[in-house]
Structure 1
Amino acid sequence: MSDRHVESKFEGPKFRIISWPAVAVALVIIAGGTAALMVWLLGIAGADPGRRLDAVKTAFTVGLAAGGTLALLLAARRQWLQERERIHAELVAADTADRAERVAAATERDATERRMTELYVKASDQLGSEKAAVRLAGLFALERLGQNNPGQRKVVVKVITSYLRMPLPRARVGEKSDDGPAPETADSVEMIQEVEVRKAAQQIIADHLGSDRVEDARWQEIDFIDLSGAHLFDFSLSDCHVGSLQVNGAVFEGETLFRNFHCTRMFAASTVFKGFADFRGAVFEGHAWISWAKFEGGAMFNSDDFFAGSQFKNFVSFQHTRFAEQTNFSGAIFSAGVNFSGAEFDGDRRTIGLGDAVVEDPDARSPEVGSAPSIWPEGWTLKSRSDGSVHLIQKRIRAGRNRNSGPPESAGELP
């Protein structure tokens, strides 16, 4: 704030400083006026001594009154100037304090930016370390940075997910040869350590997306997770909420848990689930693209005594997806279009549970090109029940028919 800006705070006309010559002139005028008044009054009084004395008293009284008035005006002006000086000093002090606060805020902001930059650089260096313990320290430093700085949380998650998308070391734990299990080499130890680092990174993401987390721990800013092509181990997003999850081409090893998972969109094209995958209680508000995927260890989308069935509120595609035995959709809810074209099931009707899947809109159409109607797995059909609900049931297959020898021959419907 400049002095000119400070002066603009004062309202009213600007007073000029009265010089001492001006005061002297005013006193001369008062004295001259008093003398002239006295002469005029003496002329009126004539030769009467009493009247002449009154004339003198009157003239001096008027002169003194004029002088007193001038003195009061000067005193009032001096007081006004003192008030202006006090106000000006207060404004200058406030302006100085404001400038100091702005400088301090800018300095603190610069220091914070430098500190965050240093933390990012240090954490990035740690993530690139050959030592697993150092990489873990880098992950936890990033987590602390995101927890203390909400504006940096998206960047922190991007850094962590980028790390998870990095390729694994070429060595594989537990590789076997003709002579038995591979020895515990330095490469295999490195792999074991890298798996633990990745599990820690996965846990950091899950810890801050959970719906049961306290307000300070849940990172509301995170609405997109990209793990495309990542190699994940015992991955879990159970009880987590996220806007969009992208795991195209990812490989999930071990147990994969999406229990009570909520998301708006899921993209899992060409994803491989090598272990068991659990989607019980999951809710997909938007499209779910799980095409060309492989569930090699079985998958649970069903309802039971502990969880509700998976609910697909919008279009879902399992096109050309391969399901292993122990896949179960019983109790799952399909609210919109479904595409199972080209889907393969390795099990039979005793190990594949598609029956009792609820179809809320049998006439729903796909948003894909052509707006095709829903396509269900080969050998399955829809049936309405007495309560008005529509369920997916398997057609009866004639005994002695090999499921891999050709299309099944329908001979009615299973009860």
Structure 2
Amino acid sequence: MVVAVLAGGVATVLWWAGTKGLDGDRLVAARFDALRIGLSIGVGGGGVFALYLAWRRQQSTEADLDNRERMLAQQERVAHDNRADATERRITELYTKGVEQLGSDKAPVRLGGLYALERLAQDNRAQRQTIVNVLCAYLRMPYVEPGQNQEREVRLAAQRVLRDHLRRGQDDKFWPGMEIDLTGAELLDFDLTGCRVHLGKFQSARFVGTALFDSTTFVEQASFQSARFTADAFFRYTRFESHAFFGTALFEGDAAFNSALISGSGMFESAGFNGNAVFDSTKFRGTVSIEKVTFARGVPVELARFVH
């Protein structure tokens, strides 16, 4: 409509103004020229107007797409937040239920809670240290033998969970960077063979049965002050990448530190070795303290040089 009006207006102006004073053939020719020019302008103007309309439609389409994309992004954020909230609620529910089961007075229920927490930690990396802390707290609870065979099985299962997930070479099960606090715990046939522990606290722990730490790596310090080993204790090829504290520890059976490496301080002051103390090929890279240490079967040759 706008194009037609424009063409008509131009043709009218040229028709009257451009033909004024003409007659005959000259008048006819001038009027045809005016009509042709008007139509040309109309067609050109129509092209420009068509381009303008196309541009407006493109702008409107892009605006609609932008609005849709923003709406979809908002919907995705809301859906993601809802899924995250649902996951967190589910984790909290499973954790709470597992802890409640672990506190049951029935051993089978405690075992169920133990394995439920293990599965939760396996599937949720962020929960692993928390659940390791719970297992360690359980093992620190008072325990008196004999007469608690069912409780013994639960405690052995808890120890196996720690061992299995701290042991290297099992990429799908290994939980790296874990800290364990078993201060004052009663540990039964304790086995951390081949494990990697970021920080180990065993102060005043009582190891009932053989204690195995062969090829274990302690990244940060390992504390065994005042620990009591009622049977043999093996630390063969153990790597203490920081300090190793065994002050006032009591080894009632044999203690084997063959080929162990202590990169930081090795503190054994006032420790007691009632059985054989074996330190063959043990490497000490830091300070070694064996003041007031008692060796029932004589000072090992490898430690004699540290006697003052």
Shorter chain as denominator, the TM-score bin is over 0.9
Q: In the alignment, is residue 274 of structure 1 matched against residue 230 of structure 2?
A: yes
Match of 2:46 in 1: 71
- Larger displacement relative to structure 2 (115-124 or 276-285): 276-285
CA distance in 1 between counterparts of 2:244 and 2:159 reads: 22
Q: Which moved more, 1:333-342 or 1:50-59?
A: 333-342
The residue type paired with residue 18 of structure 2 is: L
Paired residue for 2:145, among 161, 169, 172?
172
Corresponding residue of 1:55 = 30
Is 1:102 the counterpart of 2:59? The answer is: no
8 Å Cα contact 1:153/1:221 also seen in 2: no
4+ runs of 1 displaced by more than 6 Å? none
In structure 2, C-alpha distance between the alignment counterparts of 1:116 and 1:100, rounded to whole Å: 24
Aligned residue in 2 for 1:283: 239
The 3 A distance-change label for structure 1 pair 330 and 40 is: closer
Q: CA RMSD of the aligned region, Å?
A: 2.0
* 1:208 aligned counterpart, secondary structure: helix
The equivalent of 1:8 in structure 2 is none
* CA distance, structure 2, for counterparts of residue 32 and residue 72 of structure 1: 17
| Aligned counterpart, 2:273 | 323
Instruction: List per-residue Cα deviations over 1:47-82 (Å, max 9, x = no partner).
Output: 3x2211110001111111222233223322222222
5+ unaligned residues in a row in structure 2: which ranges?
A: none
Write the distance in 1 (CA, Å) between the matches of 2:280 and 2:9.
118
* Counterpart mapping for 1:16-415 below 5 A: 23=2, 30-43=7-20, 46-47=22-23, 49-168=24-143, 171-173=144-146, 188=147, 191-213=148-170, 215-222=171-178, 224-264=179-219, 265-302=221-258, 309-346=259-296, 348-349=297-298, 354-355=300-301, 357=302, 375-376=306-307
Give the distance between the partners of 1:63 and 1:310, measured in 2 at CA. Answer: 103
Deviation at 1:42, TM superposition (A): 1.7
Contact map agreement 1:333 1:358 (CA 8 A) in 2: no
Q: Using the aligned pairs only, state the percent identity.
A: 34
AA aligned opposite 2:208: E
* Structure 1 residues not aligned, in runs of 5+: 1-19, 174-187, 303-308, 363-374, 379-415
Q: Is the 8 A contact 1:324 1:345 kept in 2?
A: yes
8 Å Cα contact 1:331-1:358 kept in structure 2: no
Code of the residue aligned with 1:110 in structure 2: it is D
The corresponding residue for 1:182 is none
Look up the SS of the partner of 1:57 in the other structure: helix
- State the alpha-carbon separation in 1 of the partners of residues 73 and 9 from structure 2: 54
Q: In the alignment, is the contact (CA less than 8 A) between 1:270 and 1:294 conserved in 2?
A: yes
Q: 3-state DSSP class of the match of 2:19?
A: helix
Asked whether the equivalents of residues 177 and 197 of structure 2 are also in contact (C-alpha less than 8 Å), the reply is no
**Higher relative contact order at CA 8 Å, sep ≥6: structure 1 or structure 2?**
2
The answer to whether the Cα contact below 8 Å between 1:334 and 1:358 also exists between their aligned partners in 2 is: no
Question: May I ask how many residue pairs the two structures share in their alignment?
Answer: 307
How high is the TM-score relative to the length of structure 1? 0.70
TM-fit CA distance, 1:27: 5.8
CA contact (8 A) 2:279 2:303 kept: no
AA at the equivalent of 2:224: A
Q: 1:136-174 CA deviation, whole Å, 9 max, x = no partner?
A: 111111111111111111111111111111222xx530x
Once residues 146 and 212 of structure 1 are traced to their aligned partners in structure 2, the CA distance between those partners, rounded to angstroms, is 18
Provide the rounded CA distance (Å) in 2 between the counterparts of 1:259 and 1:253.
17
